[in-house]
Structure 1
């Protein structure tokens, strides 16, 4: 059934909520741009560092791993002390690691610096709580969609880092983000406020005066309810992040492209996901994602199936002799499928996060942080699985095969959850 907005929802006035809506996506974008540094610069560093595919995969996965571990604790801190403070702290925290990447010379130094960049995930979890608290319920899907559109920040690395690296050397590229990060942190400090949760502000359906407690969260996590939406969200979030990290290297190797051209061709994917986030958030303000989840999952499943096909030759016995058939996905066909899949993945993420807010408004920090944690762990696993798949299967499209199998498993969880709910409501 369509979700009708509550006429009793308060109207938030003043310029500060608008500041939050504008600045929070910038935080999201800068964090994602920092995470995808290795997706571009790592291609230049593979030869000097002597990295094989697995070593390169670990370099890509390290920020996601530490980011996943930081998401839930930072969401709790944001709910207790205010999202603005946590976002500012996390932005300032990644600055020395951006500087360290520019000064690194060994593989272990890059891994440690990447792990530090992962702590920026705390600002993503904190921003989720922050935007959810300051948005009126009737427009919270739009606000969360705009926040999630910060995923477009991955495109900043694709676009800018090759140019900066070519002009000034790769060591100058990480320093490119220092000034924007410090600027956005300063703007948050000067122009944004944390909502006063000690009074009944009625914002976003958050219970006034509530604070997360570890014992309460542990009790809540023993039940399936907080996990059900977080597990589904984790696939779309983790798959997007992993593909954003992996695409430049894949395009470079699969289609024999230069680093700069491969990164430029990867740009439409995060742009499509970001636009889909906004559309999904707007959809979620009016409709329930349960009516959309099967269509979204089926569309992405079909795209992954087609993307999984590697180039191959086939011999067919014809009437007048042997026929040789060859299949190889053209570059334009691959990019078309990728953009179509990214747009629908974004719709799924935006509407899912709106549904999490609707069903778990008082536990947004817990369920939203859990979704980012599971998605981050899945995203950290994927580059390693992509590299191992290339080694074990011997074809580069093995990564899409693994994503296809993961989505099938996720859809089975959705079927089981749907059946469980139907059994509970049946008289």
Structure 2
């Protein structure tokens, strides 16, 4: 419950934050959001009871919703041909989650755990000051003042929004879920020391943030449709290979029974996870390029809705991974589940996009009607 609380609150707040960004502008919303988290981070150093950490985690989770504020705020300063790269550079901040795995333990060992939140609170306060002094706002970046909250939520009825939610539940929700799951997987499947497991897990999580800017550049150059299509196919291949559990075969030969074992060693597994992490980094950028292209006047609202789907995916999927492991006793069922979800995306994308665009290299023929 404690670890899930920030993920849940950060997901649920994305929609209202996105709507407020469209209405009031990203500068003021992002500044207020950072200002709220500074005291919560600092107070963590003085928390002594479970409910203290629970409440603080709830507030800190609000920072997770900052993506639905920063994405539209950044995108509106750039022409459409450069919005993918701009949003990707902003999204590269996700790499902080991976960097934290190295920075926080170093501070903890040197000064004790209570120093970690104090240092992070100081960093957040400094970031807030620099942001406020170095940022600006434009009235034309906001929706009309008479736009109602209900009117913006009507975008939920658009099938494109639902489709992008499904895509993002994979490339972001799956990324968050597997980032939480990988250390446990390495320890349980390969018997690694937890420190080595954390280092190898970073091979998956680190590209997910750093390469997001590259994904934005690719989306600007080749389009969100084409990039997302190939991202899903790379994901499909990696997850298919990762889904196969360790298996032994016994074959009756003329010399007697011979046993073969088919399984990933730690090296092949890590390489596949690294490739998957790169694909999802690119995919996270391409999904938001869709949003900027299709909903230029409501980037904040749609980003919030799509971000909510991704955040809920990161919350629900680890629970499902654990349930499948308890039910089957097979750890690779986590990848089997993700493989099935990617199949849904590929089918959905084919019927709504590939047949109508040049994603596969040529224009699909249109059907002729009788008469």
TM over 0.5: yes
What SS does the corresponding residue of 1:135 show, helix, strand or coil? Answer: coil
Provide the C-alpha distance between the structure 1 equivalents of 2:51 and 2:183, rounded to a whole number of angstroms: 23
Where does residue 155 of structure 1 map in the other structure?
98
- Is 1:349 the counterpart of 2:284? The answer is yes
Contact 1:63–1:119, Cα closer than 8 Å, also in 2:
yes
5+ long unaligned stretches in structure 1: 1-57, 198-205
> Counterpart of 1:319?
254
Work out the CA distance in 2 between the residues paired with 1:255 and 1:100: 38
Given that 1:61 and 1:384 are in contact with CA atoms closer than 8 Å, whether structure 2 keeps it comes out as no
Residue of structure 1 in register with 2:295 after alignment: 360
The match for 1:31 is: none
Which of 220, 224, 228 is the matching residue for 1:293? 228
Question: Secondary structure at the residue paired with 1:314?
Answer: strand
Q: How far does residue 87 in structure 1 lie from its aligned partner after superposition?
A: 1.3
Measure how far apart 1:279 and its partner are: 2.0
Using the alignment, how far apart are the partners of 1:120 and 1:173 within structure 2? 17
- The Cα of 1:308 is off from its aligned counterpart by 2.2
For residues 43-100 of structure 1, the C-alpha deviation after alignment (integer angstroms, 9 at most, x for no partner) is xxxxxxxxxxxxxxx4433222111110010111112222122112222222333344
Q: Which residue of 2 aligns with 1:130?
A: 73
DSSP 3-state at the match of 2:136 = coil
Tell me: CA distance 1:278–1:170, structure 2 relative to 1, closer, same or farther (3 Å): same
Name the counterpart of 1:26.
Answer: none
Q: How many residues align?
A: 361
* Cα distance in structure 2, aligned partners of 1:267 and 1:297: 22
TM-score norm. by structure 1 comes to 0.77
Distance across 1 between alignment mates of 2:349 and 2:255? 51
Q: Which moved further from structure 2: 339-348 or 289-298?
A: 289-298
Distance 1:375 1:321, change over 3 A: same
Superposition deviation, residue 210 in structure 1:
6.4
Aligned residue among 238, 244, 259 for 1:303: 238
Which of 83, 86, 89 is residue 140 of structure 1 equivalent to?
83
Within-5 A mapping of 1:324-403: 324-403=259-338
Counterpart-to-counterpart distance in 1, 2:104 and 2:42: 15
TM-score relative to the length of structure 2:
0.88
Closer, same or farther in 2 for the Cα pair 1:314/1:115, shift >3 Å? Answer: farther
1:93 aligns with 2:36: yes
More displaced 10-residue stretch of structure 1: 331-340 or 257-266: 257-266
CA shift for structure 1 position 419: 8.4
Q: Which moved more, 1:107-116 or 1:329-338?
A: 107-116
CA distance in 2 between counterparts of 1:337 and 1:419 reads 26
Change (3 A) 1:406 1:60: farther
1:415 aligns with 2:358: no
Q: Deviations over 1:281-333 (max 9, x none)?
A: 11222222222333211110111122223333332222211222233422221
1:246 maps to: 181
User: In the alignment, does 2:107 pair up with 1:167?
Assistant: no
Cross-structure match for 1:46: none
Determine the structure 2 residue equivalent to 1:65: 8
Q: 1:262 to 1:160 in 2, by over 3 A?
A: farther
Query: Do the aligned partners of 2:14 and 2:304 also contact (CA within 8 Å) in 1?
Result: yes
Tell me the residue number matched to 2:217: 282
- For residues 411 and 103 of structure 1, do their structure 2 counterparts lie closer, same or farther at Cα, with a shift above 3 Å needed? farther
1:221 counterpart residue number = 156
- CA contact 2:88–2:216 (8 Å) conserved in 1: yes
Q: Tell me, which stretches of 5 or more residues in structure 2 are unaligned?
A: 358-363
